[in-house]
């Protein structure tokens, strides 16, 4: 059976929670595509992805599906992962404000725009797992998970905290980040870290899903 080993690991009750959970992935690049792969292989059958980019040559060092140069990421990943819902949509602040996040048990934010990430946090912090700072690094052992208020050594997370404080927002949400110092000024990247980020995000999602009370979403 396809998910036999997952069922053995989680047990029937927890696996059923995974199988029936609804997960939204915002951005399916170097981090999001690996989170998608991990969730899909772990038995999550209700997965929605949102992105607006097409693959280019520079994506081939780290993104699943990136051999399809010139194709929409959403369309290619829908072919690779049958059954997912793929939405080709540019994510900006106006879109975040209008979008209904209610149907999803977990929201994974692996998009690149700081202002959009801040708006996502305000809108759905209770169910949010956010990836920050996977670029410019190659040491996967430095990946950590913490509340946004307890991250260390990550410039984007620091900036987000400042902006959230200005907005008088003090709620917690989960962040996957790295304590490794940036190794370059430009957006260099290594799949050893971006892929590991995606897998760490998936792990956090699984832990949250199996702890969801039977009565439903919180």
Phi, psi (degrees; rounded to nearest 5) at 140: -65, -20
Rounded-to-integer distance, Cα 88 and Cα 201, Å? 22
Which CATH number covers residue 152?
A: 3.40.50.720
Whether residue 117 lies inside any domain: the answer is yes
Whether residue 176 lies inside any domain: the answer is yes
The pLDDT tens digits for 98-134 are 999 999 999 999 998 999 999 999 999 999 999 999 9
Domain that holds residue 115: 4-210
Domain count, the chain: 1
> Considering the entire predicted model, what is its pTM?
0.95
List, in sequence order, every residue forming a beta bridge with 22; answer none if it has no partner: 46
* Terminal CA-CA length for the chain: 32
pLDDT of residue 156: 86
Cα R_g (the chain), whole angstroms = 17
- 86 close to 49: Cβ distance less than 8 angstroms: yes
Per-residue pLDDT of the chain (218 residues; tens, 9 = 90+): 899 999 999 999 999 999 999 999 999 999 999 999 999 999 999 999 999 999 999 999 999 999 999 999 999 999 999 999 999 999 999 999 999 999 999 999 999 899 999 999 999 999 999 999 999 999 999 999 999 999 988 888 999 999 999 999 999 999 999 999 999 988 899 999 999 999 999 999 999 999 876 544 44
Whether residue 217 lies inside any domain: the answer is no
């Amino acid at each position: 059976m396809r998910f036999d080993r997952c069922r053995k690991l989680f047990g029937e009750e927890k696996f059923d929670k995974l199988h029936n959970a609804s997960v939204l992935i915002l951005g399916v690049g170097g981090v999001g595509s690996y989170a998608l792969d991990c969730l899909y292989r772990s038995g999550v059958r209700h997965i929605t992805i949102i992105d607006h980019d097409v693959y280019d040559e520079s994506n081939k060092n780290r993104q699943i599906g990136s051999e399809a140069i010139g194709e929409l990421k959403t369309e290619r990943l829908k072919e690779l992962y049958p059954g997912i819902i793929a939405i080709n949509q540019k994510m900006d602040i106006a879109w975040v404000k209008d979008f209904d996040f209610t149907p999803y048990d977990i929201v994974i934010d692996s998009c690149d725009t700081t202002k959009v990430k801040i708006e996502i946090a305000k809108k759905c912090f209770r169910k949010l797992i956010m990836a920050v700072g996977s670029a410019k690094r190659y040491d996967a052992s430095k990946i950590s998970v913490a509340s946004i208020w307890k991250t260390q050594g990550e410039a984007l997370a620091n900036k987000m905290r400042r902006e959230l404080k200005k907005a008088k927002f003090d709620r917690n949400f989960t962040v996957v980040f790295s304590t490794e110092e940036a190794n370059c000024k430009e957006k260099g990247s290594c799949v050893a870290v971006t892929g590991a980020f995606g897998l760490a995000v998936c792990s956090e999602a699984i832990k949250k899903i199996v702890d969801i009370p039977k009565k439903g979403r919180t």
